[in-house]
Structure 1
């Protein structure tokens, strides 16, 4: 029986990786500045390494500065590009987001590519940040929403520029957006429900952002990296039962054995950041370097507009930070 399982996993791995999309663009990023959030491991690390190979100035925006610096040193060694720097950013902390954006605006004359990649599968018990936001939503959606808005003027001044929001197939499992209870204060919470909702928000945010950026030279797209063995399910703290812990480990083993590696998982992000084929395309959802269909909820322009308004309130976006109004 074990032999059969191994054979099936190996075959699935071969077929899945064989059909996985790959960025074919050889475009150089010399003279370009790129920001990648959550770049200290997994897909973010692989994405950053590719950008560095293309000659970009790459800013690794990470919560764990020490870990990120080790990654930066490795990328510099492998690529020979010394323009790989680390800046502290915790997307779950709005104060950290504002501090990071302030440093970028003071130190970087241009920002050409913003990759909102950082994400977590939140804890089993609901946790609230110092800003009163549910931790998963804060990390995966609210922090990136605020960061993008704070950098919009610099991105517009640097046009043509691109914004890539890393979502997930998990957004299909968020069947309804509870706009009056985005942080699970008055309804049942689970880490999966929060994660699925946050990934839906990534797609809806991208859709409305693209509308607001029309004619500015800045494009925004969202994407699904696919099934990638990043170990995200093992970071889910405090599983309530041994069965759930076992299932998390089993799922991680399956992804490691049959899914994409991080380099393949990064290909769609890289494609959206550099490819000539997506020049001028905005507000779309991609997988395997191709535009594909998203959930019916994620296609709703009214939901996207309403989410934007709720997000502005929840992150306390100030009038002087609403740069999209001046485009």
Structure 2
């Protein structure tokens, strides 16, 4: 895959969840273009090691790490509160971190299935809490990592069992979370029309990252399968990061919103649920409830009507 040429990002601030793999190479590309980078990580000490490497590789000192755990809503709220109080702008929010195919069902302290909260609900909450600064910093961009897994047979939105208490399998959990990310991108983009904030989702490719550790443990002969896939199918983390770098920085994506990207271009989702707007709305409203938000973003026409009433 061709390495994306990143336009000058002087004056831009980017928040990226995660610090390894795709997050690392995304941060490196943006930092080389002189953006300020804030990595959000659960393991701050390990993340700081990568920050020091990034500073040397990019000759950019404006790279830092803050503590946040997507599995703990209170840490997301604490970070967002601190960030808003800092009065720092925000131009790029890259919802990157994730987990994949955890063998046994696990539940967060907030009561949600781990993959659903890490990959989707945590980013849903973070995005909403940072919307005030994304609005004041506009033009700004929100990026969500989906996956072609959203088109697998197991990929659905299990409305009556979102936390998969009754029917958990590792791939069902992963596929649902990645479909939810895509539907969130579509729904939020419709609600943010006219704000100069773009929202897009993407598939990074079949990337050789730490996410595969659970796959190795899950399958018989997992290590052998991993080596075979690595040889014939995987792309590197640097290659995989190119699509999110492209969506976050390219002139072509400056005003594009509500799209799904793969291989640095618009792609088509073959999951029919991608086109069910009522489902997108229902998932959005249920997600607000699950993360403890009383109010989300109104559709533009609703906001305009309310504004007229206020006047």
Task: Please report the TM-score for the alignment, with normalisation by the length of structure 2.
Answer: 0.91
Ranked by relative contact order (alpha carbons within 8 Å, sequence separation 6 or more), the top structure is 1
Residues 22 and 288 in structure 1, CA contact (< 8 A), matched pair in contact too: no
1: CA distance, partners of 2:49 / 2:141? 27
CA RMSD of aligned residues (A): 1.8
Aligned to 1:188: 167
Aligned to 2:279: 303
Q: Tell me the matched-pair count.
A: 298
2: CA distance, partners of 1:293 / 1:250? 32
- Note closer, same or farther for the CA distance 1:324–1:47 as it changes in structure 2 (3 Å cut): farther
Aligned to 1:4: none
1:1-327 equivalences in 2 (<5 Å) = 20=1, 22-24=3-5, 26-38=6-18, 40-173=19-152, 174-185=154-165, 187-235=166-214, 239=218, 244-247=219-222, 249-258=223-232, 259-294=234-269, 295-319=271-295, 322=296
Aligned to 1:16: none
2: CA distance, partners of 1:97 / 1:213? 22
For 1:175-230, what per-residue CA distance to the aligned partner results, in whole angstroms no more than 9, with x for missing partners? Answer: 43211210012x21111110010000010000001001100000000000001111
2: CA distance, partners of 1:30 / 1:142? 31
Q: Which runs of 5+ in 2 are unaligned?
A: 305-311
2: CA distance, partners of 1:308 / 1:288? 27
Residues 123 and 237 in structure 1, CA contact (< 8 A), matched pair in contact too: no
Task: Please report the TM-score for the alignment, with normalisation by the length of structure 1.
Answer: 0.87
SS across alignment from 2:248? helix
1: CA distance, partners of 2:273 / 2:217? 31
- Note closer, same or farther for the CA distance 1:27–1:231 as it changes in structure 2 (3 Å cut): same
Q: Which runs of 5+ in 1 are unaligned?
A: 1-19
Query: CA shift at 1:234, angstroms?
Result: 1.0
Residues 103 and 169 in structure 2, CA contact (< 8 A), matched pair in contact too: yes
Query: CA shift at 1:122, angstroms?
Result: 4.4
- Moved beyond 3 Å, runs of 4+: 235-239, 322-327
Residues 47 and 269 in structure 1, CA contact (< 8 A), matched pair in contact too: yes
